[in-house]
Structure 1
Amino acid sequence: MRLKWMAMILACANWIFGYAQRTECLLEEHWKFIKEDVVGAQLVTYDDTKWETVSVPHDWAIYGPFDRNNDLQNVTVVQNLEKKTSLKTGRTGGLPYVGTGWYRTTFKAPQGKHTTLVFDGAMSEARVYVNGKEVCFWPYGYNSFYCDVTDVVHADGKENMLAVRLENKPQSSRWYPGAGLYRNVHVLSTEKIHVPVWGTQITTPHVGKDFASVCLRTQIEGAGTKELTVVTDILSPEGKVVASKENKGHINHGQPFTQNFLVANPSLWSPESPALYQAVSKIYCEGKLTDTYTTRFGIRSIEFVADKGFYLNGQHRKFQGVCNHHDLGPLGAAVNKSALRHQLSLLKDMGCDAIRTAHNMPAPELVELCDEMGFMMMIEPFDEWDIAKCKNGYHRYFQEWAEKDMVNMLRHYRNHPSVIMWSIGNEVPTQCSPEGYRVAKFLQDICHREDPTRPVTCGMDQVSCVLDNGFAAMIDIPGLNYRTSRYEEAYQRLPQNLILGSETSSTVSSRGVYKLPVQKGFSVLYDDHQCSSYDLEACVWSNIPDIDLALAEDHDWTLGQFVWTGFDYLGEPSPYDKDSWPNHSSMFGIIDLASIPKDRYYLYRSVWNKKAETLHILPHWNWEGHEGTEVPVFVYTSYPSAELFINGKSFGKQTKHGETPENRFRLMWPHAIYEPGEVKVVAYNQAGEPVAEKMIHTAGRPHHIELSTKRESLVSDGKDLAYVTLKIVDKDGRLCPQDGRLVYFQVDGEGRFRAAANGDPTCLDLFHLPQMHVFNGMLTLIVQSGKKEGYIKVKATSPGINAGMLQLKVK
């Protein structure tokens, strides 16, 4: 117990070194966990010594095993245009997330303080007990919530017992939701007079180059009728004080304490320059400092102009966005800031500038990173309202809890400059009901009340319904999911004269898999349960990327798009969802489950990333048995034209043109003839001058394992991650694109093996074991730092080829 308490002291170091009035502690280590419904587990006297010891964030289901029988769902998916009920296998990832779990730990609270427990998310139906007493219940697993435990913690400084019961019901999700305390848990202690959780609101009523006005509204609790003094400094991105105010007053009828500031020559927040300010407020009562509260914010303006589109800081732009589920692939739903940063870095290089949190509230770490790294956000809370999509979905709680959930989300994230708009739902069946308009207005009004500065959208897929019943006309920004053929009609009929691609494309592909002959198709099925990476296959309700790219280019009134999806995710293995086990992860991602970009990544990059050269060739060039036959070659490039050479023979020059959407964004040689050797592409600029070239080659026999990572070193915090790319290559270092061998990993030194993934939606290898089959010659292994400085040594072996080794510094 002494070691446990020392660990908590280190985790709560800001109790000693931070502001004495406000302390915050993360409860991470030494939790006890059991996956079963235990009677009496909330009691202080309960013996949990035989339970598993875990760290939080923790996802109990990601360790598997995968099983076809995990959450079988015999359903009709109406939003996918299904007419008949069918057995869905792998719909929620084939992982054992269903069931009940208990977590227990202890914590100390400073004496004489106001104490609050803050949960960033708990999946799901959380019942929280302190010292045997239930202190709160929060059913929605995606939302952050808090519990006032001041009256139940020990006043004498003794340890307090915290117990949390969580339950995931079967058929409660359409994808893998995760399980357990999968986000962080905080203990917050303040004086009686304090700013409550999410207690400030910052707006910027005027934004200009010369100056910006900043309005800070601060909720203060516990003051009663006493006079308060609030002193606030506005700090620039460089940490300099650029504005200050000292105001005295009383809290009138619970209204917030308001202060106004002028900031000269502000640095404006944008994806290209994500400048962040801080408002540091000190609360005094009768000359005594009672609280210090810091609010991070950005200065920027947003406008949505009918017929013209979206303006950020006065500049017209389109959303180049992606939708993402919250799971982190092989890490599951357990949040890790390093993993989120890794994902965002890949998307940033692609030219992505916006994230839709489909279809739920995000982890606060994601929103913080979007602020810092420059991503605009559409934050979305719900996948269903009062009418069910899933038997045990959110509709069970909507009437009582929807407003509470919305208020928590809005107050939590309304100060973040990355947040550009709120979404109130995704493809909800309610959109076609007689009550749909009323329910949508109820939710939109909550957004307007809590945050009048941002517009509201909704992902709508039933276009005929919402155009005819007034639903779409009432929403601030009408968002259409797919249905690109209805864009023009919707624009003409709706009073907003704007259309947002709230969910687009849903192209499906498996990394490194290429099907011949090459042809466009919808919900195409193959015997190997894979999809072609020629990027011409989509689901019956969706389309290939080129359609949405063209719409964004051709019409000012289209606001841009949020592609489904940035990353593959666990569950929803379309088009292999009908009794198609072992498929258990999506194929929608631009980037696969192993964080390896698919070919489609470079198609988007060639259009979206205006600052970098893109020149990418597909497919691979190992086609034994196809000698002398047609193997089409596609090129995704930022240049307007290119010439293809196979073993020195020219197959002609292709130039982008607008006869079809594909010809506008791709260069294609459908009649290229396969022969082993070298494929070279020479790219030309607008003047017809050769400016870049790229080559791929037929690979020889597998020779050795190659390990690489973009991380030069890791931070010794016990959380930092390195994503190590593993390739099977020939003697010349060329990828062997059809290899599928089993590889073993060994990680030694000041770190540990965390997980691995290969991106194969049909592979049942467990993520947490130090071995995995490569998929088309590649996989990713994830290494986590320890808490000491030193080195991590990574070794990968497989019979018959030379081992691969890599060393990482931890500092």
Structure 2
Amino acid sequence: MFNKLVSFFILFAMVMTAIAQPRQTINFNEDWSFTLEDDLQFRRTDFSPVNWKKISLPHDWSIGFDFGEEYPAGNAGGALPGGVGWYRKTFPLSAKDKGSHYTLHFGGVYRYAEVWINGKYLGKNINGYLSFEHDLTSHLHYGNEENVIAVRVDNSLQPNSRWYTGSGIYRDVRLEKRSPIHLLRAETFITTPEVSADRSTLRVQTALNQAMSGKTGKLQLKLHDKNKKLIAEQTLAFSGSQFEEGLSLGRVDLWSPDSPTLYDLSISLLDSSDEVIDHLQYAVGFRHFHFDEHKGFFLNGQSFKLFGVCLHHDLGALGAAFNKSAAKRQLLIMKDMGVNAIRTAHNPPAEEFLDLCDELGFLVQNESYDMWAKRKNKFDYHIDFKEHHIADLISLVKRDRNHPSIFMWSIGNEIREQFDSTGIALTKNMAEVVKALDPTRPVTAALTETNFDKNFIAQAEALDVLGFNYKYFDYDKLPTEFKGYPLIASETTSALQTRGVYDPLQDTIQLWPASSKDKFVTNGNPDFTVSAYDNVAAYWGTSHERAWLEVKKRDFLGGIFVWTGFDYLGEPVPYPYPARSSYYGVVDLAGLPKDVYYMYQSEWTDTEVLHLLPHWNWKEGDLVDVWCYYNNADEVELFLNGRSLGRQSKTDDQLHAAWKVPFEAGELKAVKIKNGTTVQEVAKKTAGNPVDIVVDVEHERYAVDGATDLYFLTVSLVDEKGTIVPNSDVELSFIPQENITIVGTDNGYQADLNSLSNPKRNTYKGLAVGMVKKGDLDKAGKILIKTNIVEKEITIK
């Protein structure tokens, strides 16, 4: 009896110690072992993975392979393999940690993730794009015996997507230590019911995992501004396991893409001695918005056109493996272009991606599914939809609803249930689920059918905003056909371009392929390129200029989402293999802008834009189409070797100045003129032979946390005068010297079959990019970039 009492008091002391310690989040990305073999013995604690590869997470095993035509997902999957992979990790816990509650959180695993802890099966996650977690508490060892996590990932059923998905544990993993009684993040919902110039309110709903055994608990709310100044504080007693309370505030700074002001909200669970038992932290943005069926979108009381792009989840040479530094680079490149809104095509993004959108100022349309019960690929989510779609939708909304950047929920993209009555019930059901969890944001879907009597998703009359993909000729009938609904252009353009390629211009937009009858283009280029002039599109799309003009002149369209901001792996319309990535992006896969980037920048920003294309290396006598994107001026004058070729202006139907110029070597110069005065100049010069490389290292602007930061090395091939050479590419070797790891290399060419993990890369049209990281953050790194003409050692500080 005495021994039992001693054991009881020891356990009681452990529990009380754990209760007094607030939540701790432990990064669990390091020290994993990985294999592409498949054997159920790998789940066992007594198995030793001695020959497995040592890796860090996030991890995408597919991106490390060479591209190949033989992989079953084909070009849709980026000509890269799927398969089955296993991950294992061991970790100790101190005996003093006993009594705490432990949860293992996965940010995303593609696909079909099964998890074991110490040989105990925890379950299988179906959705490859959503976060999930497992309670480890009752299965853990403390003291001398280590714990073993085993994860089996099955991406062998191919094809299962219309684009590259990646394979593996491709987002962050973290271990969360909590007190036995703790706040539930999924049940915490923060809203701003009132936002005005003089007064705002903040409402917090949250819940505990269990009631506090009949005792009264305390919840403390604190709101700080960006300078850490305390704005509001309130401590309230409550009983049971549910809590809902509001904070009344005075004037606050509003969140917007132009000024993404965030406040820090802390929610602390206190015991009777006012010690912190558990703690949650959130970024809060105060903003209000609405859609108007006639006047479009309004943010914080002002008319606001959505300048949006669609983004897939891959990060170029990193594949699907999420890196916050690389994602920040993508977003800031988009920000500089004038983008203020992102559509997460066509699945939920990483949680950290939404953190960046909160901080940097992007409105986000968060999209759930690319298909419902009717398939687009043989093994896609339709096979799991019936059983899992409601639970997955709940998981998505609960996970992301506290992000101020999110302003819309999309329940589907080009869903095939538009075409029959099954779409009505499914739409109603899912819209009801979303609105029950979050009544503060509208629900939409990306639709294709512009006749109400043929669009069964719209007939459900459950969506708050209707999005339409393409259908430019039908825009003016939409307000009548779908009367009473606000409207957006949820996906537009699908123009095709390869950076730096300039085919002779045609008088009309070329459609590659020409119709749905043709799988591939029949009159394309033998090197699998597409001209960077904005005059080629997929048969369902149009040019960037035309798509934007169609939205720009219609106030009832709340905004545009261009397909796409960046090129992405897979879906290489209009070509078969060896093309392996898309041509749709305004920016190429390496993160290098195509020329049309500057058209958007000239339309969507006040940045002084004067961009001249193409390069100026041609054959004598070639008749060259010369374009110039500009803004904040009346006209542009073009000079060739000092001779004026005349002035041109943009028009209501053409967003660039244009000339046809017989080539002669030398200098082509554009002069921007406003009120008769020159305000800006830019020139293109004929390049000679390559003799050197220039390396631009970008890091500080894209830094996030030090540990996972990447350094982006843009290499330019130049002649003796420093002019980029566009037509004499060379091979680069990125060779680590000290404290450097090569993460990936790229050049933006959609048919380059060299693995994106290879440290050797040809320049393409004079440019290439290397992504590297340092080992010891406190020491400089050194890397040698070697070519057949020159080699340079670069110091990474």
Q: TM-score, normalised by structure 2?
A: 0.93
In 2, distance between residues paired with 1:536 and 1:647? 28
Aligned pair partner of 2:783 in 770, 794, 797: 794
| Alignment equivalent of 1:272, drawn from 241, 252, 258 | 258
Q: Is 1:770 aligned to residue 759 of structure 2?
A: yes
Once structures 1 and 2 are overlaid, which stretch shifts more, 149-158 or 184-193?
149-158
Cα distance, 1:645 vs structure 2 = 1.1
- Cα-to-partner distance string for 1:183-210 (whole Å, 9 max, x where unaligned): 1111111112111233311111110111
- Does residue 637 (structure 1) correspond to residue 623 (structure 2)? The answer is no
Instruction: Give me the whole-angstrom Cα distance separating, in 1, the residues matched to 2:510 and 2:764.
Output: 24
Instruction: Give SS of 1:106's match.
Output: strand
Corresponding residue of 1:675: 664
Question: Deviation digits for residues 554-591 of structure 1, max 9, x if unmatched?
Answer: 12111111111111110000111xxx211000010111
Gap runs ≥5 in structure 1? 1-15, 73-88
Q: Distance in 2 between matches of 1:277 and 1:538?
A: 43
- Which residue of structure 2 aligns with residue 212 of structure 1? 200
Superposition pairs of residues 379-418 of structure 1, within 5 angstroms: 379-418=366-405
Q: Structure 1 335/282 Cα, relative in aligned 2: closer, same or farther at 3 Å?
A: same
Q: How does 1:698-737 map to 2 (within 5 A)?
A: 698-711=686-699, 717-737=706-726
What are the within-5 Å matches in structure 2 for residues 512-661 of structure 1?
512-519=500-507, 520-523=509-512, 525-576=524-575, 580-610=576-606, 612-624=607-619, 627-638=620-631, 639-658=633-652, 661=653
- Is 2:94 aligned against 1:93? no
Task: Kindly state the Cα deviation for residue 243 of structure 1 after the two structures are TM-superposed.
Answer: 1.0
Aligned counterpart in structure 2 of residue 303 of structure 1, from 280, 290, 293: 290
What SS is found at the alignment partner of 1:606? helix
Q: Kindly state the Cα deviation for residue 48 of structure 1 after the two structures are TM-superposed.
A: 1.3
Q: Which amino acid aligns with 1:445?
A: E
The aligned residue for residue 81 of structure 1 is none
Moved more, 176-185 or 481-490: 481-490
**1:772 Cα deviation from its structure 2 partner:** 0.9
Alignment equivalent of 1:503, drawn from 491, 499, 502: 491
Within 1, Cα distance between the matches of 2:622 and 2:706? 55
Taking the aligned partners of 2:143 and 2:420, their CA distance within structure 1 comes to: 56
Alignment partner of 1:184 out of 147, 159, 172: 172
Aligned to 2:477: 489
1:368-423 per-position Cα deviation (integer Å, ceiling 9, x unaligned): 00101111101111111111111110011111111111111111111111111111
1:354 equivalent to 2:341? Answer yes
**Partners of 1:71 and 1:478 in 2: how far apart?**
36
3-state DSSP of counterpart to 1:587:
coil
Aligned to 2:9: none
Give the whole-Å Cα distance in 1 for the aligned partners of 2:280 and 2:669: 59
Counterpart contact for 1:121–1:183, Cα < 8 Å:
yes
Instruction: Provide the C-alpha distance between the structure 2 equivalents of 1:476 and 1:450, rounded to a whole number of angstroms.
Output: 15
- The structural deviation recorded for 1:470 is 5.8
Preserved contact between residue 204 and residue 213 of structure 1 (Cα < 8 Å): yes
How many angstroms apart in 2 are the aligned matches of 1:716 and 1:125?
Answer: 30
Asked if 1:429 corresponds to 2:430, the answer is no
In 2, the alpha carbon distance for the partners of 1:790 and 1:147 equals 38
**In 1, are the aligned partners of 2:77 and 2:164 still within 8 Å (CA)?**
yes
| Aligned-partner Cα distance in 1 for 2:486–2:478 | 9
1:467 and 1:493 in contact (8 A); partners too: no
- Looking at structure 2, the residues matched to 748 and 500 of structure 1 have their Cα atoms a distance apart, in angstroms, of 51
TM-score by length of 1: 0.91
Q: Aligned partners of 2:785 and 2:247: how far apart in 1?
A: 58
2:534 aligned partner, one-letter code: D
Task: Specify the alignment match of 2:744 in structure 1.
Answer: 755
Pair 1:695-2:683 in alignment: yes
Q: 1:486 to 1:157 in 2, by over 3 A?
A: farther
Q: Does residue 102 of structure 1 match 2:86?
A: yes
1:54-65 alignment runs, 5 A limit: 54-65=55-66
Please tell me whether the aligned partners of residues 19 and 181 of structure 2 are also in contact (alpha carbons under 8 angstroms).
no
1:177 and 1:446, CA in 2 relative to 1: closer, same or farther beyond 3 A? Answer: same
CA distance in 2, matches of 1:451, 1:419: 11
In 2, are the aligned partners of 1:707 and 1:805 still within 8 Å (CA)?
A: no
Partner of 1:83: none
1:142 paired with 2:129, answer yes
Q: CA-to-partner distance for each residue in 1:523-562, whole Å, 9 max, x for gaps?
A: 1622221110001111000111122322332121111111
SS of match in other structure, 2:77: coil
**Structure 2: how far apart are the matches of 1:766 and 1:470?**
42
Q: How far 1:678 sits from its partner (Å)?
A: 0.7
Match of 1:32 in 2: 33
Show the counterpart of 2:221.
232
Which residue among 349, 356, 359 is the counterpart of 1:372? 359
- The CA distance in 2 between the partners of 1:788 and 1:587, in whole Å, is 36
Q: Are the structure 2 counterparts of residues 805 and 637 from structure 1 closer, same or farther at C-alpha, using a change threshold of 3 Å?
A: farther
Return the alpha-carbon distance in structure 2 between the equivalents of residues 712 and 248 of structure 1.
Answer: 45
Distance 1:222 1:346, change over 3 A: same
SS at match of 1:575: coil
Q: Return the alpha-carbon distance in structure 1 between the equivalents of residues 787 and 178 of structure 2.
A: 56
Report if aligned partners of 1:551, 1:558 keep a CA contact under 8 Å in 2: no
Aligned-partner Cα distance in 2 for 1:17–1:642: 70
Give the CA deviation at 1:156: 5.4
Work out the CA distance in 2 between the residues paired with 1:302 and 1:796: 50
Q: 1 CA distance for matches of 2:456 and 2:795?
A: 62
Aligned residues: 761
Q: Conserved in 1, the CA contact under 8 Å of 2:324 and 2:352?
A: yes
Report % sequence identity: 35
8 Å CA contact 1:716, 1:788 repeated in 2: no
Q: Gaps (5+ residues) in structure 2?
A: 1-16, 513-520
Which letter does structure 2 place at the counterpart of 1:499?
Answer: L
Whether the aligned pair in 1 keeps the contact of 2:740 and 2:783 (CA below 8 Å) is no
Determine if contact 1:371/1:416 at 8 Å carries over to the other structure. yes
Q: Which residue of 2 aligns with 1:741?
A: 730
Aligned 8 A contact 1:121 1:142 in 2: yes
Shift of 1:39: 2.1
Question: Which residue number in structure 1 is paired with residue 248 of structure 2?
Answer: 262
Note if contact 1:705-1:796 (Cα within 8 Å) is conserved in structure 2: no
Match of 1:76 in 2: none
Query: How large is the Cα RMSD of the aligned pairs?
Result: 1.9
Distance 2:183 2:601 in 1: 44
The CA distance in 2 between the partners of 1:464 and 1:312, in whole Å, is: 30
Corresponding letter in the other structure for 2:475: Y
Residues 14-67 of structure 1 show CA distances to partners (whole Å, capped at 9, x for unaligned) of xx9999221111111111111122122111112211111111111111011211
Change (3 A) 1:333 1:17: farther
Distance, in Å, in 2 between the alignment partners of 1:716 and 1:446 is: 36
1:332 to 295, 304, 319: 319
Matches within 5 A, 1:19-168: 20-72=21-73, 89-96=74-81, 98-109=82-93, 110-154=97-141, 158-168=145-155
- 1:591 counterpart letter in structure 2: V
1:723–1:412 Cα change, 3 Å: same
